[in-house]
Structure 1
Amino acid sequence: MVNTCCVVKCYRRGKSIANGLRFFNFPAWKQHTGTQISELTKRRRMAWVAAVRRKDITFSNIPRHMRVCSRHFHKGKPAYEMLECDPDWVPSLHLGHTEVKPTDSGKFNRRLKRQQALKRNNAEPATLDLAGQRSEIVKAEPPDEDSQMAEAGPKDITVELQECSFCSCRRAEINRLLEENRKLKEELSQKKMEEDFLKDDDVKVTYYTGLSSFAVLMGVLTQLLPSLPQTSRKLSPFQMLFLTLMRLRLNLPIQHIAYLFSVDRKTVSTTFRNTIGTLFTHLKPLVHWPERHCLQATMPRQFVEAFGSRVAVIVDCFEISIGRASNLKASAETFSHDTNKHTLKYLIGITPRGAISFVSQGWRGPVSDEHVTENSSLLNKLLPGDLVLADHGFDIRDRVGGLMYAEVRESGHSRLNAKDVEETRQIAHLRVHVKRLSGCVRTKYIILNETVPVSMVLPCQGEDMIFLDKIVSVCCALTNMCPSIVMKLQTMT
Structure 2
Amino acid sequence: MPGSHCCVNNCSSTSHDRYGKHRNNGIQFFRLPKWTQHQGKQVSDLTRRRRIAWLAAIRRKDFTFDFTPQSMRVCSLHFHSGKPSYQMLENHPDWTPSLRLGHNDVKETDVARYQRQVKRRTQHLERPPPPAQDQQSPPPAHYHQQSLPPAHYQRSPPPAQDHQQLPSPAQYQRSPSPAQYQQQPPLPAQYQQQPPLPAQDQQPPPPARDMECGLCICRRDVINNLLEENRALKQELDEYRINENLLSGNDNTVKYYTGLPNFALFQTLLLNLTPYLSQGGMKALSPFQLVLLTLMRLRLDLPIQHLSYLFRVHKTTVADAFHHTLGVMYAQLCPLVHWPSRECLLTSMPHQFVESFGKNVAAIVDCFEVFIEKPSNVLARAQTFSQHKQAYTMKYLIVIMPQGVISFITKGWGGRTSDKHITEQSGFLNKLLPGDIVLANRGFNIRESVGMMCAEVKIPTVSNGHAELEVKDVEEPRAIAHLRIHVERVIAVVHNKFKFLHSTVPVHMLVKCEGENLTSLDKIVTVCCALMNMCKSVV
TM range (shorter): 0.5 to 0.7
Which residue in the other structure is 2:184 paired with? none
**What's the RMSD between the two structures over aligned residues?**
3.9
Which residue in the other structure is 1:14 paired with? none
What is the rounded CA distance, in whole Å, between the counterparts of 1:298 and 1:468 in structure 2? 32
What is the rounded CA distance, in whole Å, between the counterparts of 2:119 and 2:395 in structure 1? 86
What is the rounded CA distance, in whole Å, between the counterparts of 1:445 and 1:214 in structure 2? 18
1:162-241 matches, within 5 Å, as 174=224, 181-182=230-231, 184-231=233-280, 232-241=282-291
Which residue in the other structure is 1:386 paired with? 436
1:340-351 matches, within 5 Å, as 340-351=390-401
By how many angstroms is 1:440 displaced? Answer: 2.6
1:314-463 matches, within 5 Å, as 314-391=364-441, 393-401=443-451, 402-407=454-459, 423-424=475-476, 425-426=478-479, 429-463=482-516
Provide closer, same or farther for how the CA distance between residues 308 and 422 of structure 1 changes in structure 2, counting only shifts above 3 A.
farther
Deviations 1:211-233 (A, max 9, x none): 12222222222212222131321
Specify which of 522, 525, 530 is matched with residue 469 of structure 1: 522
1:206-285 matches, within 5 Å, as 206-231=255-280, 232-285=282-335
Which residue in the other structure is 1:97 paired with? none
Which residue in the other structure is 1:109 paired with? 132
Which residue in the other structure is 2:13 paired with? none
Letter in 2 for 1:292: R
Partners of 1:410 and 1:431 within 8 A in 2? no
What is the rounded CA distance, in whole Å, between the counterparts of 1:311 and 1:323 in structure 2? 38
2:338 is equivalent to residue 288 of structure 1: yes
Partners of 1:79 and 1:151 within 8 A in 2? no
What is the rounded CA distance, in whole Å, between the counterparts of 2:528 and 2:201 in structure 1? 84
By how many angstroms is 1:151 displaced? Answer: 5.1
Which residue in the other structure is 1:303 paired with? 353
By how many angstroms is 1:436 displaced? Answer: 0.9
By how many angstroms is 1:365 displaced? Answer: 2.8
Partners of 2:383 and 2:417 within 8 A in 1? no
Partners of 1:409 and 1:431 within 8 A in 2? no
Q: What is the aligned residue count?
A: 358
Deviations 1:126-158 (A, max 9, x none): xxxxxxxxx996597999xx997435997xxxx
What is the rounded CA distance, in whole Å, between the counterparts of 1:423 and 1:481 in structure 2? 34
Deviations 1:10-50 (A, max 9, x none): xxxxxxxxxxxxxxxxxxxxx99xxxxxxxxxxxxxxxxxx
Deviations 1:76-114 (A, max 9, x none): 52469xxxxx86xxxxxxxxxxxxxxxxx4xx5215997
Deviations 1:392-416 (A, max 9, x none): 54443343224222235899xxxxx
Which residue in the other structure is 1:24 paired with? none
What SS does the aligned partner of 2:334 have? helix
By how many angstroms is 1:282 displaced? Answer: 1.0
Deviations 1:180-222 (A, max 9, x none): 6555434423433111111111111111111122222222222
- After alignment, is 350-359 or 401-410 more displaced? 401-410
Partners of 1:408 and 1:431 within 8 A in 2? no
Provide closer, same or farther for how the CA distance between residues 69 and 444 of structure 1 changes in structure 2, counting only shifts above 3 A.
closer
Partners of 2:373 and 2:505 within 8 A in 1? yes
What is the rounded CA distance, in whole Å, between the counterparts of 1:244 and 1:260 in structure 2? 13
Percentage identity across paired residues of the two chains: 46
Partners of 1:249 and 1:447 within 8 A in 2? yes
1:40-189 matches, within 5 Å, as 76-78=123-125, 105=130, 109-110=132-133, 149-150=211-212, 174=224, 181-182=230-231, 184-189=233-238
Provide closer, same or farther for how the CA distance between residues 355 and 138 of structure 1 changes in structure 2, counting only shifts above 3 A.
same
Specify which of 473, 478, 485 is matched with residue 531 of structure 2: 478
Provide closer, same or farther for how the CA distance between residues 281 and 337 of structure 1 changes in structure 2, counting only shifts above 3 A.
same
Letter in 2 for 1:150: E
What is the rounded CA distance, in whole Å, between the counterparts of 1:69 and 1:257 in structure 2? 48
What SS does the aligned partner of 1:348 have? strand
What is the rounded CA distance, in whole Å, between the counterparts of 1:467 and 1:72 in structure 2? 66
What is the rounded CA distance, in whole Å, between the counterparts of 2:136 and 2:442 in structure 1? 100
Provide closer, same or farther for how the CA distance between residues 185 and 213 of structure 1 changes in structure 2, counting only shifts above 3 A.
farther
What is the rounded CA distance, in whole Å, between the counterparts of 1:384 and 1:228 in structure 2? 43
Letter in 2 for 1:296: L
Provide closer, same or farther for how the CA distance between residues 395 and 110 of structure 1 changes in structure 2, counting only shifts above 3 A.
farther
Partners of 2:404 and 2:490 within 8 A in 1? yes
Partners of 2:370 and 2:501 within 8 A in 1? yes
What is the rounded CA distance, in whole Å, between the counterparts of 2:238 and 2:350 in structure 1? 44
By how many angstroms is 1:378 displaced? Answer: 0.6
Partners of 1:229 and 1:275 within 8 A in 2? no
Which residue in the other structure is 2:19 paired with? none
Partners of 1:392 and 1:410 within 8 A in 2? no
Letter in 1 for 2:459: E
What is the rounded CA distance, in whole Å, between the counterparts of 1:69 and 1:187 in structure 2? 39
| Higher CA-based Rg | 2
What is the rounded CA distance, in whole Å, between the counterparts of 1:307 and 1:186 in structure 2? 61
Provide closer, same or farther for how the CA distance between residues 179 and 196 of structure 1 changes in structure 2, counting only shifts above 3 A.
farther
Letter in 2 for 1:485: V
Letter in 2 for 1:440: V
What is the rounded CA distance, in whole Å, between the counterparts of 2:492 and 2:381 in structure 1? 27
By how many angstroms is 1:338 displaced? Answer: 2.6
Partners of 2:364 and 2:484 within 8 A in 1? no
Partners of 2:398 and 2:406 within 8 A in 1? yes
What is the rounded CA distance, in whole Å, between the counterparts of 2:119 and 2:520 in structure 1? 75
What SS does the aligned partner of 2:459 have? strand
What is the rounded CA distance, in whole Å, between the counterparts of 1:151 and 1:349 in structure 2? 82
By how many angstroms is 1:372 displaced? Answer: 0.8
What is the rounded CA distance, in whole Å, between the counterparts of 1:441 and 1:409 in structure 2? 28
